[in-house]
Amino acid sequence: RSLRSLEHNVSALNASISEIKETNAGFLTRKATIEQRISDSEDKLLKAESSITRLNAKISKPCARLDDQENRARRNNLQILGFPEGAEQNNPIKFLEEVLPQLLCLPDNLDLDTEWAHHSLGPRPTAGQRPCPFIIKLLHFPIKELVLKKARDSKSLEWEGNKILIFPDISKDLQEKRKLFQPVKKLLRAKEIKYSLFYPAVLKIMWKGETKAF
């Protein structure tokens, strides 16, 4: 009986081992399948990333050209912030051509030659909200540059208790590029080092008789 019992136990053990081997073989097969799928997915992802990189490179060039064209079209434009809503009394050109020369101390015989002027697009601000800026286009680039220089030299402009700010009217992308220079410009002003920001986003620093561009 003991021998038969032992043989029975050995047979049962062998059956269990065979079952474990079959289970393990199935597991290994599934594992290999999963690993292959993961590998295939990674290959597809790499190809997709490569395609996206190439597409971005193709798109970036025409986008840059469009942005450049947009900014060149705005070459003579200015953004003017701070005038209260309705101050222009439905005639922004007349209002700005009367106020700006006085505000900026422009030469008496200077004609701004404004082509058009209007509030920026957007909903009319409610009471207490910041008024919409004016967008103004001058016919002559040198006059636009003179207005900007006078605004910079004045440091602080005020009209009837309202702080007035004057900026070039440029695209959002170019604004973001120029913002990167803000910490440097702040440091240069603190050290009283002369600098200028040129189109599109070139910072020129004048130091010890030399000019360096960044």
**pLDDT category, 10, cuts 50, 70, 90?**
low
CATH of the domain at 214: 3.30.250.20
Q: pTM above the 0.95 mark?
A: no
pLDDT, residue 1, reads 56
Mean pLDDT over the full length of the chain: 86
Same domain membership, residue 138 and residue 110 = yes
- Total tally of structural domains belonging to the chain: 3
Q: What is the DSSP string of the chain?
A: -HHHHHHHHHHHHHHHHHHHHHHHHHHHHHHHHHHHHHHHHHHHHHHHHHHHHHHHHHHHHHHHHHHHHHHHHTTTEEEEE-PPTTTTTT-HHHHHHHHHHHHHT--TT----EEEEEEPSSPPPPTTSPPPPEEEEES-HHHHHHHHHHHHHHS-EEETTEEEEEEE---HHHHHHHHTTHHHHHHHHHTT-EEEEETTTEEEEEETTEEEE-
Same domain membership, residue 154 and residue 110 = yes
Segment 120-161, tens digit of pLDDT:
877 776 767 788 899 999 999 999 999 999 998 887 899 999
Same domain membership, residue 185 and residue 99 = no
Same domain membership, residue 81 and residue 4 = no
Domain boundary among the residues 43, 69, 95 is at: 69
Percent of the chain whose pLDDT exceeds 90: 33
Q: Average pLDDT for residues 156-174, to the nearest whole number?
A: 92
pLDDT, residue 100, reads 96
Asked if pLDDT for residue 45 goes beyond 70, the answer is yes
Same domain membership, residue 54 and residue 9 = yes
CATH of the domain at 113: 3.30.70.1820
Same domain membership, residue 89 and residue 31 = no
Same domain membership, residue 62 and residue 79 = no
Contact 196, 202 (CB under 8 A): no
Segment 97-131, tens digit of pLDDT:
999 999 999 998 899 999 999 988 777 767 677 88
Domain boundary among the residues 42, 69, 96 is at: 69
Q: Which position has the higher pLDDT, 26 or 195?
A: 195
The residue range of the domain holding 153 is 75-169
Same domain membership, residue 102 and residue 162 = yes
Same domain membership, residue 104 and residue 58 = no
Same domain membership, residue 182 and residue 126 = no
Q: Cα separation of 146 and 135, whole Å?
A: 17
Q: Which position has the higher pLDDT, 19 or 94?
A: 94
Same domain membership, residue 106 and residue 184 = no
Contact 213, 197 (CB under 8 A): no
**pLDDT category, 2, cuts 50, 70, 90?**
low
pLDDT, residue 8, reads 67
pLDDT, residue 49, reads 87
Domain boundary among the residues 34, 69, 104 is at: 69
Same domain membership, residue 134 and residue 157 = yes
pLDDT, residue 209, reads 82
**pLDDT category, 92, cuts 50, 70, 90?**
very high
